[in-house]
Structure 1
Amino acid sequence: MSANDVAAVKLRYAAASEPVTDDESFRLHLPTDGLREAGLVAKLTRPGVARDALMTVADVLASDLRFKARDRADYLAYLIAQGKRVSNEVWDAQKRFLAEKYGGESGDDEEGSGRGPLDPVLTVSEAGVAIEVFSTDESAYARLFIRSGEGYTAESVTPGTTHLAIDEVLTRGIGRMRSYRESTLEIGAGAAAAESGEGVTERELEVPLRWLRAFGQVQAASTLPAREFELSPIDLYNVLLTLRMRRAKTSPRALRFELVPGEAPRMILEPWEQLIEGTGPAYQGATPVVVRTWGRRRLSVLARLLPHCKSVRVRLVGAGLPAYYILDLGDAELTLALSGWTDSGWAGIATFDLLVAGEVKAKLAEAALTALQGADAGLTLAELQEKMGADVAGARQAILHHMQRGTVVHDLANGRFLARSLLANPPDAEALRYRDAREEQAHRLLAEKQAVTLTKVHELGGQGTRIEGEVVDSAAHRTYRSSFTIDREGRTVDATCTSPQFRRSGLREGPTVPMIALRLLFARRQAELERARGTEEGRKLIRAETRVLVRRQAPRRAASDNKSGAANTGSLTYRVSLDDREVVVRWGTHPQHMRMHRLRFASADDARDEYFGRLEALGDKGFIDASAAEMV
C-alpha cells in the first residue's frame, strides 16, 4: 500500500434542513446516504442526553491535532507591495503549496469531490442505533450506541448500515434540542436523495487506505488483553478541571494511572505530579502497576457528557496502543478510543503488527461473517467460536481479518462483535495489511534471517531509550546503520541513518525502512523478555535492563486544591539497572536529585541474582513496578 492508494466512495445526500419546532415539540431530519438503505424515525426518551451525545460525536469527528503551517501568503504580498525582493512566482508557489497541503481535503476543483476520511457510519438495527466516527488525524475514535426501547421509541425502523451527513447546519439544529420538548429524530435518505432529485448533493470521496487501516487498527486493539478499571465521573471531571486551569510548559505531559489491587485508582498529572485520588470501585487486578497515557487534553470532548454519566470504564491496552473510555449513560453508551499515534507520527508503528490478521482460510472467514450477520445483537467471542466450530485462535484471526476490511465492529461496552460494513464494497484485506511500502519492506527484512540486528539498546533514564542497529538489505546489496532515541513521550529524537531517504530529507518524510525494522525488532525483543521474566531459564537471557519502582508517599493537601479533589504529593522512586556484571541502584524523590549505588560482581550470574533479589525486596516493601509507564 502506498501513501496515495485510495478507496473511491460515492455518496448522495439530501440537503440539510432546519428543525421543525414549537413550544412543545421538536423534529429534526438527519440525512443519510441515499445509495445505502437504512433509516429510523424515533421519539427520544431523554432529548438532552441525545443532544449532548451527538454533539460529542461531532466534536470527535472535527478534531485534528496535526501540525498546520502558517499561511505566509499575506506577508509575502505585503513584502511585494513594499518593493522587497520577493517575486510573484515565489508568492504563487507558496499559495499553491499551502492550498495542496493544508487547504482542506479537496483534491480537485470539482464540487462535491475530494480526498478525506469517511463520513460518520450509521448502523440501525432492532436492538438500537449506533454512530461511529474516526477523526481525520487518526487520533480519536468514538462509537455512540442508543438502545431501542430505552433511549428512544421507534415509529419505523429500516435496518442497515449507511453514512450520515453532519455539517454546520445539522450541528446547529442538534444544539437546539431541549429536554422539555417532545423530540423526534428522522434518520434517512428521503425520497429525493434515493432518486437523485432536486436539492440532492452527490459526492465522490477518495478515502485513503491508510486511514481505513488505522480505523481497523483501533478496532483490533480493543480485542487485546487490557487492564480495566472503573472511575467515578467526578474523578474524570477533576482531571479535566485541572487541565483547564493549568497548562504544562515542559514535558512530560502525561496522565499517569497508579493501579493497586484493593485500592481505588489514582491519577497523576505530569509534569506537576499532581495527585487526584479516585473515588470509584477498587482496582481488581492481580498485581500493582503504573500506566502512563498520552493525549490527555483530547478527553475534554467528554466534558458535556459527564453530568449524564453513571460510570466511566477505562481499558488500557499497552504502549503505543489506544486507551478506551466507556461512558455509561443509562440508556446509551459512548466509547471513546484515543490512539497512540496520529498520521504524521509513528510512535505506535512497532505495535501495528500485533493487530494484523495472519493467514485466514476463506471458509473460516466466511463462516464468521455469516454467523455475525445472523445475530442482530452480535456475538461474544465464545459464542462466535461455538457457531464457527473453530478454536479461539481461529475465531480471533477471522475477527481481525474482518476488522481489517471494516466489515465487523467490536461493541466494547457489551463485549460483542457485530457485522457492519464501512464501505459498500470493502477493500481486500491484503491491501490494508501495511501502512505503506516502507513498513512492508521493513517486515520483509525482518523475515530474513540475521538481516536486522540490534547492536545497542541504552536506557537513558528519564530521557528515554537509545536504539542502535544494523540492517542488511540483500535485495539492494546495501548495509545500513541506524540509531535513534525514543523519548518519554514516545517521540523519535536525535535520529541518524545511512539510508538515502534520511540523507535526503531527515525525518521529514517519516522513519526510514531500517529505522522501522529496528523499532519492530526492539518491540518484539521487549515482549519476549517480559514473557521470559517469570521463569528461571528466561531470566538467564536478561543481561541488561532497567526497572523503575515507585511508592506513593502520604499526600500533602493544599487548601487551594481542596475543591477540585487534587493533592500535592510525592513518591519515592528506585531505578535498578543491570548491565552484565554491574548493578546500579538510584533512588530519591526527585528525578534530578537521586542518590546512586554502583555494585560490580565477579560474574554476570551473581549480578543477575543481586538484581532480581533487589526487585523482589522492593516489591515486598510495597513498591510498584512502573517500568511499563516509562516505556509508553
Structure 2
Amino acid sequence: MNTENQARATASFTLRYQQPSDFHADAVQLLTHLERDEVQFAGKVKQPLAFREGLATLFAIVSSDYRYIPKDRTAYLAFMQMRRSARHQGLAKAYRAYFDWLLRNDPQAWLMLDPIISVHPDGLFLEVFSKDEACYAALALDQDLFETQGKLQFGTTHIDFSPELAQGLEQIRSFRSTHFAVGKTAVNFQTETAPALPDTEIIEKRIQVPQTWIRGLLQVQSAAQLPADIFHLKPIDLYNALRYLRLHADVKGKKRGLRIELVPNQPPRLILEPTDQVIEGSAEPYQGQQAKLIRLWGRRRLSLLKRFLPFAETIEVQVLGHGLPSFWILGGSGMSLTLAITGFTSSNWSQALNFDLLLPRRSETLAELTTVVAALQKVYVATLEELVVTTQLSELVCRTALQQASQQGLVIYDLAHDVYRYRPLTQEPLDMSHFQFRHPAEKLAYDLVARQQAISQLQLNLLPLEGIEISATITVKEDKRDYLAKLKLTEEGQISKASCSCHQIMTQGLSHGACSHLLALRIAYAAQQAKRDLSMITQETRLFTRRHQQQREQIQVTLNHQRLLISRELNQHIKPQQFAFNSVQEARQAYLGKIAQLELSGFIEG
C-alpha cells in the first residue's frame, strides 16, 4: 500500500467582477460576482465608525497567515517588472494584469476565496476564512444599522475585497454621512479611480483553492452546531489578556497555550502560559454542572479582534474541548462578530483528526435533506423550531439534515442569533467526494480501521504527567507485511513522538506528514476511548487542580490494579498516600469515589 502523501488537490474558481470594489465620495461600493445570482442592497450607515471597524476587522482576519514563510525576492522582482509595464493602463486594467501575472508566476498566492456576503431579511452576513485555515469569521450587520434605500434582492454571492478597498475604508469619519451598496454594478455613483469597463472587459480572478481549505471551512462551520461549554466575558477581560500578550513576547521552547478554568458558580479565569498569568473574568459566573480546565492554542489570533473590541458590549465564548475549535462571539449595537479559531494548524494532524471524529461522516445523502433546505431557502433565515413546524419532521431528523447541509456548504448556523441561514457556498453544488478526507493517506487509514484484524490489540503505556504511549501492529495485506506504529500523546492530545516501520517514516520522518498507519492508530485509539467502560479500567492517572487567589493546590490520583496512590501538592510541599485493596474492583470504586469527591470540592481535572 502506497502511503506517500500526494500533492494537495485544488479546486479552480473564476471570480468575475465588472470593476473593483471601491470607496469614493463617502460611499462604499462592494461589487459582486457576475456569474452568481443577483444580490442588491443599498442604504445609509447610521454608525459609520462601528461599520468601518467591523469591515477592517474582517479584512485583518481574511488576510492573516501565521505560517512561517521564508523570504524570496524572485517573485517580487517579477512583480515589479509587471507593475512597471502596466503603469499607465488605469486601475481596472492594472487589476486584470495583476491577476493574470499571479496565475502565471505564483498560482498559490491566492489560496482563499473572496469574502461571501448574504443579503437576508434581517440584515447582511459576511464570512471569511483565513489562508492558514486557522480562523473563520462572520460579521452580521443588522437592518437597524442602515437606513435602507432602494430595492432589496436577497441571496448569496462573492464580493471583491482588496487591500485598496481596505485602505479606502480608513477614510470613513463619524462627522460625514456614509453610504453603502452591494451589487453587480455601481449604485448612484461611478468611481473616478476605476471607470466602468465595457461589458466585454471584466476583471477575472482565477483562483486555485486547495480542497483542504474548503474542507476546513465547511468543517468549522459545521462544528458550530456541536454541544459546547459556554461562558461569558466582558470586553475589558479580553482587553486585559490581549494587553498582556502584546507586552510579553512568546518564549521559544515554552508553552504558549491559553488555559480556561471553568468552575460552577464562579467567574471564568483565563490563564496565559508559561507564566500562568491569571485574568479573572468580571462577567456572570459559569453556569455549567462540572468544573473543567480547557487548553486552547492560537491565542495570538485573538488580537485580530482588537479593532472591534471598543464597540463590543458582550462576549460569549463557546469551547468544544482541548485544542478543538473555540467560538468568540462579540455583540454590539446593530452588529455582531463571530470568530472561530480552529485550535490547531495543518501540522498538528492529531488534533485535526480528533476534531473530524466529532462530526458525522456520511457517504449517503439524507432523504430529508432536500425538504429541509427547500424550506429554509424560501425564508432564508429560520430557527430550528420554525423548520420543525414547517417541514413536519422530528427535531432530531431536522437537526441531522441541517448538520449535513452545513458540511455540503448549503447552510450556515449563525451562533450570534441562534438561527440557520440558507447560504450556498458556490453557485454549483460541491462534489462532496473530494472533501470526505483530507488526503489519500487519511482515506487509507479509515480503510485499515474498517478491516477486521488489520490492527492488533492496542498497547497502552501510561506516563504520569507526560501522557500516554500507544503502539500496535498493523497488517497490510497488499504489502504482505506488518508495520509497527507507535504514538506518544500529551495530556492535551498533541503528538510528542511518532514512529513507524514503513518506508515513508523511516526515510522522511514526519516532514511529509503522517503515514496511513499512524493515522489508523490514532483513529483506532479515539474509537477505543469513545467506547471506554469505566467499570473495566485497571490503570489510570488523573491530575486535579484547585486555585485560591494566587495559590494552586494539585492532587494526583493513580489507580494501579489493587493500589490507589494519592499525591497532594500545596506550597511546594508534597504529601503522598498509598492504599492497598483486596481486589481490583474495590480499588476502582475507591478511585472513582475520590474523583467524584474532588470534583464536588471544586477541583478541575488537568
2:391 and 2:343 mapped to 1: Cα distance?
A: 33
Please name the residue that 1:316 is paired with: 319
In the alignment, structure 2 segments of 5+ residues that lack a partner are: 76-98, 187-193
SS in structure 2 of the partner of residue 19 of structure 1: strand
Please name the residue that 2:164 is paired with: 169
Is 2:557 the partner of 1:584?
Answer: no
Q: Deviations over 1:379-402 (max 9, x none)?
A: 223333343333344323322322
Cα 1:333–1:434 change in 2 (3 A) is same
Cα 1:514–1:179 change in 2 (3 A) is same
1:73 and 1:583 mapped to 2: Cα distance?
A: 64
Q: CA deviation at 1:214?
A: 0.7
Q: Which deviates more from structure 2 when the two are superposed, residues 606-615 or residues 331-340? A: 606-615
2:371 and 2:309 mapped to 1: Cα distance?
A: 40
In the alignment, structure 1 segments of 5+ residues that lack a partner are: 75-103, 530-537, 556-568, 628-632
Please name the residue that 2:376 is paired with: 372
2:421 and 2:331 mapped to 1: Cα distance?
A: 19
Please name the residue that 1:510 is paired with: 513
Please name the residue that 1:613 is paired with: 593
Q: CA deviation at 1:261?
A: 1.7
SS in structure 2 of the partner of residue 310 of structure 1: strand
Is 2:10 the partner of 1:9?
Answer: no
Please name the residue that 2:230 is paired with: 228
Is 2:604 the partner of 1:625?
Answer: yes
Q: Which deviates more from structure 2 when the two are superposed, residues 107-116 or residues 596-605? A: 107-116
Please name the residue that 1:89 is paired with: none
Q: Which deviates more from structure 2 when the two are superposed, residues 30-39 or residues 504-513? A: 30-39
2:328 and 2:52 mapped to 1: Cα distance?
A: 20
SS in structure 2 of the partner of residue 155 of structure 1: coil
2:215 and 2:554 mapped to 1: Cα distance?
A: 40
Paired-residue identity, %: 32
Is 2:541 the partner of 1:541?
Answer: no
Q: Deviations over 1:523-560 (max 9, x none)?
A: 2222333xxxxxxxx4322222222211112x2xxxxx
Is 2:173 the partner of 1:206?
Answer: no
SS in structure 1 of the partner of residue 28 of structure 2: strand
Q: Deviations over 1:257-300 (max 9, x none)?
A: 11122221122112111111111011111122221211111100
SS in structure 1 of the partner of residue 536 of structure 2: coil
Is 2:134 the partner of 1:139?
Answer: yes
Q: CA deviation at 1:359?
A: 5.1
Counterpart amino acid of residue 585 in structure 2: D
Q: Which deviates more from structure 2 when the two are superposed, residues 41-50 or residues 346-355? A: 346-355
Q: Deviations over 1:204-240 (max 9, x none)?
A: 2222222111111101111111111111111111111
Cα 1:610–1:490 change in 2 (3 A) is closer
SS in structure 2 of the partner of residue 545 of structure 1: strand
SS in structure 1 of the partner of residue 172 of structure 2: coil
Q: Deviations over 1:400-452 (max 9, x none)?
A: 32222211111111111111111111212232111111111111111123323
Counterpart amino acid of residue 66 in structure 1: R
Q: CA deviation at 1:67?
A: 2.6
Please name the residue that 1:182 is paired with: 177
Please name the residue that 1:604 is paired with: 584
Counterpart amino acid of residue 188 in structure 1: G
Is 2:60 the partner of 1:59?
Answer: yes
2:311 and 2:451 mapped to 1: Cα distance?
A: 54
CA contact under 8 A between 1:316 and 1:322: conserved in structure 2? yes
Cα 1:174–1:264 change in 2 (3 A) is same
Cα 1:300–1:199 change in 2 (3 A) is farther
Is 2:420 the partner of 1:439?
Answer: no
Is 2:576 the partner of 1:574?
Answer: no
CA contact under 8 A between 2:134 and 2:341: conserved in structure 1? yes
Q: Deviations over 1:471-530 (max 9, x none)?
A: 22234333221112233565422211012221231101111111111112222222333x
Structure 2 length-normalised TM = 0.87
Please name the residue that 2:470 is paired with: 467
What does 1:81-230 align with in structure 2 at a 5 Å threshold? 108-109=103-104, 116-190=111-185, 197=199, 200-230=202-232
1:193 and 1:609 mapped to 2: Cα distance?
A: 78
Counterpart amino acid of residue 50 in structure 1: F
CA contact under 8 A between 1:320 and 1:348: conserved in structure 2? no
Please name the residue that 2:80 is paired with: none
Please name the residue that 1:630 is paired with: none
What does 1:398-417 align with in structure 2 at a 5 Å threshold? 398-417=401-420
Please name the residue that 2:343 is paired with: 340
Counterpart amino acid of residue 164 in structure 1: I
Cα 1:152–1:597 change in 2 (3 A) is farther
Cα 1:47–1:611 change in 2 (3 A) is same
Please name the residue that 1:566 is paired with: none
2:565 and 2:354 mapped to 1: Cα distance?
A: 29
Q: CA deviation at 1:10?
A: 1.6
What does 1:36-47 align with in structure 2 at a 5 Å threshold? 36=36, 37-47=38-48
Cα 1:195–1:176 change in 2 (3 A) is closer
Aligned residues: 569
2:480 and 2:554 mapped to 1: Cα distance?
A: 48
Counterpart amino acid of residue 522 in structure 2: R
Cα 1:370–1:439 change in 2 (3 A) is same
CA contact under 8 A between 2:43 and 2:148: conserved in structure 1? yes
Cα 1:445–1:577 change in 2 (3 A) is same
Please name the residue that 2:35 is paired with: 35
1:140 and 1:17 mapped to 2: Cα distance?
A: 24
Q: Deviations over 1:109-143 (max 9, x none)?
A: 17999762211111112221111000111100000
Counterpart amino acid of residue 586 in structure 1: S
1:213 and 1:421 mapped to 2: Cα distance?
A: 14
Equivalent position to 1:305, from 308, 326, 335: 308
Q: Which deviates more from structure 2 when the two are superposed, residues 463-472 or residues 136-145? A: 463-472
Cα 1:198–1:359 change in 2 (3 A) is closer
Cα 1:448–1:596 change in 2 (3 A) is farther
SS in structure 1 of the partner of residue 144 of structure 2: coil
CA contact under 8 A between 1:12 and 1:193: conserved in structure 2? no
Structure 1 length-normalised TM = 0.84
Q: CA deviation at 1:600?
A: 4.5
Cα 1:196–1:257 change in 2 (3 A) is farther
Is 2:347 the partner of 1:352?
Answer: no
CA contact under 8 A between 1:368 and 1:388: conserved in structure 2? yes
CA contact under 8 A between 1:581 and 1:607: conserved in structure 2? yes
2:473 and 2:422 mapped to 1: Cα distance?
A: 44
SS in structure 1 of the partner of residue 53 of structure 2: helix
Q: CA deviation at 1:201?
A: 1.2
1:335 and 1:273 mapped to 2: Cα distance?
A: 27
Equivalent position to 2:23, from 16, 19, 34: 19
CA contact under 8 A between 1:7 and 1:208: conserved in structure 2? yes
CA contact under 8 A between 1:481 and 1:497: conserved in structure 2? yes
CA contact under 8 A between 1:294 and 1:489: conserved in structure 2? no
SS in structure 2 of the partner of residue 190 of structure 1: coil
CA contact under 8 A between 1:112 and 1:203: conserved in structure 2? no
Cα 1:589–1:384 change in 2 (3 A) is farther
CA contact under 8 A between 1:134 and 1:141: conserved in structure 2? yes
Counterpart amino acid of residue 393 in structure 2: A
Is 2:69 the partner of 1:68?
Answer: yes
Q: CA deviation at 1:56?
A: 0.6
CA contact under 8 A between 2:325 and 2:343: conserved in structure 1? yes
SS in structure 2 of the partner of residue 374 of structure 1: helix
SS in structure 2 of the partner of residue 35 of structure 1: coil
Cα 1:105–1:435 change in 2 (3 A) is farther
SS in structure 1 of the partner of residue 161 of structure 2: coil
